[in-house]
Amino acid sequence: MKRFAQGSAAGMSTLLLWAAPLLIIAGLSAGFVTQRWNWLPLSLLSLGGIALLLWLIQQSRVSSGFWGRRSTQTSTNALLTVIAVIALLGIVNFLADRYTLEIDLTENRAFTLAPETRDVLQNLDQPVRVLVFDPNAASRDRLLLEQYRRQANNQFSFEFIDPQEQPALAKKYNVTQVGQVIVVAGKKTQRIDENLSESNLTPALIRVTSDRPIRAYFTTGHNELPLIGGAASLSEVAKLLEQRDVQLQPLNLLEKGKIPEDANVIVVAGPRQPFLRLEQDLLKEYLNRGGSLLLMLDVDVNAGLEDLLKNWGLTLDNRWVIDGSGVGQQVGLGPDTIIVSTYGNHPITQRFAQGPSVFPRAQAIRVDPVKDDNIVEIALSGPQTWAETEWKSGNLEFTEGVDTKGPLPIGVAITRQLSNNPPKEARLVVFGDSEFATDGVIAYQGINSDLFVNSVLWLGDRDQKALSIRPRETTNRRLQLNVTTSRWIEMISVFLLPLVGFGSAVFVWWRRR
């Protein structure tokens, strides 16, 4: 009976000895990692302290000389070692939770936020919440939102909500189906109906945190490109601008008689008829008082804006730029369609790298810089292009001394300082083509939409915001095998490789027996 009692006391002592440090470390880890010292970490710490106190009391009652024994000192050292190891593991977990290191090895950096997005997140000046009305959202959505949270300096939060369990909240934001996303900042909200991605979440953030919208007026009355319609319209880029809180308005200068005071940008998109003198004077006056103007002018069209362009040191070449490299013909484009991959150093194009844009039947822009103007050729044709003088005849061959050899500027951005105190400047962007921004050309998957959208945003003084973020497209790397190849691979993997392995084993056994 005495032996049984001693065994029970020893077992209880061992249990308390191991339970005490484990409970204490668990409580500290739970508190530091979650940064919430609620009932869970406090309860673990309390239980650990009680277990340690009971162990000490038990050891003192068993032997008065307990603390002087060599075995006690050895056990104490072992206990401190265990506590140190567990504490080290807790610290490692804490640091891993707070300071993560991620390496994106995907080809198109699919899991890395764009620099534009990081700029927006790091400059958030108010809390933003993202409500995802889908309790079983895909893991990629959670990963994306977690990346946003880490970049936003505690100004970004997200929550996954089951609309069935919280019908009042779903009704408040007019959620009609599972998967809808609501971005909330103060009293402003923005809905995302399509799949959650960086290309639609960042514009939504800009829209709910913007203190003012950009108002872009598109001139009418000269047979310009329409904002709605088919392949020859600007509907796709118009949609992208509206997603970025740009308000699009038509403007008939003859009917209005003036340019609205709230106009941030005036867009002249592919006119087919000339502007009258009154309209020309209105545009000149608008620029002289610090306005922003985007001109998209086509070959062999008299838009009546020659004097305005001359005042800014520009002249339209009025000849097709021909591509002699043959690159465009490999993807079904004619020689009169050039692929641009060279861009100037400018806020409109600073994120483009070497992405291609497509310009059909474009003309070059001759630049004669005006003193003190900041002129940047934002889009240039390649070295194997030229301005074809005989483009009307269809004889598209380079003639030395007659045609002009590339590279040639297709797009130009100019900033003119009007005054320093108070600071005031005028901005002008000119493209020698209007088709590059139409729906039919954007379908080629170039960065044409980025070029147009960024131009409007820069003209509207939004060059410090995220301009345009395109969806990350995954390259299809699937290997297409014919039936014969598939059968050979199947036979090799199912029969030949196992047979080679079995034969090798038999050979080794035969040599060693």
Confidence band of 475 (pLDDT split at 50, 70, 90): low
Q: Report the largest interatomic distance among the alpha carbons of the chain, rounded to a whole angstrom.
A: 117
pLDDT at 158: 92
The Cα 459–Cα 456 span in angstroms is: 5
For 244-346, list the strands marked E by DSSP. Answer: 246-251, 265-269, 292-296, 314-323, 337-340
- Indicate whether 470 pLDDT > 60: no
Asked if residues 156 and 148 have their Cβ atoms less than 8 Å apart, the reply is yes
Burial class (CB in 10 A: 0-12, 13-18, 19+), 164: exposed
Structure tokens that stand for 82 in this block: 């265990």
The values of phi and psi at residue 217, to 5°, are -100, 125
Strands 423-431 and 156-160 turn out to be unpaired
Please, which contacts does 390-397 make with residues 24 or more away whose CB atoms are closer than 8 Å?
A: 391/299, 391/319, 391/320, 391/322, 391/336, 392/300, 396/320, 396/322, 396/335, 396/336
Tokens of 420: 């320093």
Percent of the chain with pLDDT over 90: 34
Q: How far is CA 289 from its chain centroid?
A: 35
Q: Decide: 187 and 156 in contact? Cβ < 8 Å.
A: no
173 pLDDT above the threshold of 90: no
**pLDDT score, position 285:** 95
Residue with tokens 């945190």: 209
pLDDT value, residue 18: 77
Cα–Cα distance for residue pair 413/502, rounded to 1 Å: 71
- Answer yes or no: is pLDDT of 58 > 80: no
Mean pLDDT of the chain: 83
Is 52's pLDDT higher than 80?
Answer: no
Phi, psi of 216 (to 5 degrees): -110, 120
In this predicted structure, what is the pLDDT of residue 64? Answer: 53
Phi, psi values for residue 387, rounded to 5°: -90, 110
Residue length of the chain: 513
Q: Write down the pLDDT at residue 107.
A: 63
Distance separating alpha carbons of residues 234 and 237, to the nearest angstrom = 6
Q: What's the pLDDT score for residue 421?
A: 80
What is the predicted pLDDT for the residue at 84?
77
Cis preceding linkage at 422, omega within 30: yes
**What are the pLDDT digits (tens) for 282-318?**
999 999 999 999 999 999 999 999 999 999 999 999 9
> Which parts of 332-474 are beta strand (E)?
337-340, 357-360, 363-367, 374-380, 385-388, 404-405, 409-420, 423-431
Residues in contact with 88: Cβ distance below 8 Å, sequence separation at least 6, in sequence order: none
Q: What share of the chain is helix, strand, coil (3-state, %, to 5)?
A: 40, 20, 40
pLDDT > 70? residue 166: yes
> What pLDDT does 105 receive?
66
Question: What percent of the chain clears pLDDT 70, i.e. is strictly above it?
Answer: 84
Q: What is the mean pLDDT of residues 62-79?
A: 63
pLDDT at residue 85 greater than cutoff 50 = yes
pLDDT at site 2: 44
pLDDT at residue 469, as a whole number = 58
Q: Does the structure show a pLDDT above 90 at 190?
A: no
What is the Cα gyration radius of the chain? 35
Return the minimum-mean-pLDDT range out of 67-81, 191-205, 397-411.
Answer: 67-81
- pLDDT value at position 487? 84
Tell me what pLDDT residue 62 has: 56
pLDDT score at 310: 95
Looking at per-residue pLDDT, the higher value among 365 and 190 belongs to 365
For residue 451, the Cα-to-chain-centroid distance in whole angstroms is: 16
Which one, of 285, 240, 344, 434, lies nearest residue 293 by Cα?
A: 285
pTM, whole model, 2 decimals?
Answer: 0.63
* Per-residue pLDDT tens over the stretch 338-350: 999 899 988 888 7
- Taking the C-alpha atoms of residue 214 and residue 459, their distance in angstroms, rounded to an integer, is 10
**Cα–Cα distance for residue pair 446/448, rounded to 1 Å:** 6
**pLDDT, greater one: 91 or 219:** 219
354: pLDDT strictly greater than 50: yes
| Cβ proximity of 164 and 436 under 8 Å | no
Angle of helix 115-122 relative to helix 139-151, nearest 10 degrees, comes to 60
Among residues 298, 236, 289, 222, the alpha carbon closest in space to that of 260 is found at 289
**Per-residue pLDDT reduced to its tens digit, 430-446:** 999 999 999 988 876 66
Nearest CA to 274 out of 219, 311, 217 is that of: 219
